[in-house]
Amino acid sequence: MILPIFIIDRESSMSASAASPSKAELRAAALSARDKLSDEQRMAAALALAKRGLPVDIKPGDIVSGYSPIRSEIDPAPLMHSLAARGARLALPAVLARGKSLVFRAWSPNDRLMLGPLGILEPSPAASELIPDIMLVPLAAFDRLGHRIGYGAGHYDHTLAHLRSEVPAHFRKAGIKPIIAIGLGFAAQEIAAVPALSHDVALDYVLTEKNVFDCRTVIRKS
């Protein structure tokens, strides 16, 4: 089943007031909703993402970075296995320090993982470092403008800003390495509006088990 892609209009979507809840309050509410999902609902959602695939073309050799799910995050593994079967090269992030950019190391479904400094499973430091073409991003909450709330460390904001600034300008103009950021979450994590700050990096798409949100038009207007 192919779900419609929602293209969001900024003017009709932004209605936050001065009394809007804080990021911490929004994070707590979204995580509470996520935690209430059953194991069966989580697995069904992960399989739905895998069955639908990504809203962008995947060419053999394209590098897709996923993540090792923690807490009650949606599991990207079924989707990543599906992408690998289509010829994508896979990578997983490794945390070097709080507030610093992540690095991405090559990974395949049969590789063993090790615990990183934050207790999250990561590839071995001996694995090759890669720059992803497509980055699958976990989240605590999101809105239809592509803004996300994470856990407060800023890893993905730093990483996207860093990698996109490091790609040579002629590559960016040619569209060779745009680094597409795709948030993955449950429909229950959607909120009306994220109080985004200037350093927050918006996502290109957000995927849930129910919808595909195309946020690129919004980002280009900002």
Give per-residue pLDDT as tens, 108-140: 988 999 999 888 999 999 999 999 999 999 999
Global pTM reads 0.84
CA pair distance 201, 222, nearest whole angstrom: 11
In CATH, the architecture of 22-52+61-188+211-221 is 3-Layer(aba) Sandwich (3.40)
pLDDT at residue 19, as a whole number: 64
Neighbours of 175 (CB within 10 A): 7
Q: Hey, where are the domains in the chain?
A: 22-52+61-188+211-221
68: which 2 tokens? 């090792």
Q: Is 24 helix (H, G, I), strand (E, B) or coil?
A: helix
Tokens of 186: 């449950």
DSSP lists the bridge partners of residue 149 as 141
- What SS3 state is found at 50? helix
The band of 5, judged by pLDDT with boundaries at 50, 70 and 90, is: low
CA gap 149, 2 in Å, rounded: 27
State whether the Cα torsion 79-81-87-90 is positive or negative.
positive
Which pLDDT band holds residue 168 (cuts at 50, 70, 90)? low
189 pLDDT band (50/70/90 cuts)? Answer: very high
| Residues 64-87 pLDDT 10s | 999 999 999 999 999 999 999 999
pLDDT above 60 (res 11)? no
Output the pLDDT for position 164.
76
User: Is residue 211 packed enough to be buried (19+ CB in 10 Å), middle (13-18) or exposed (0-12)?
Assistant: middle
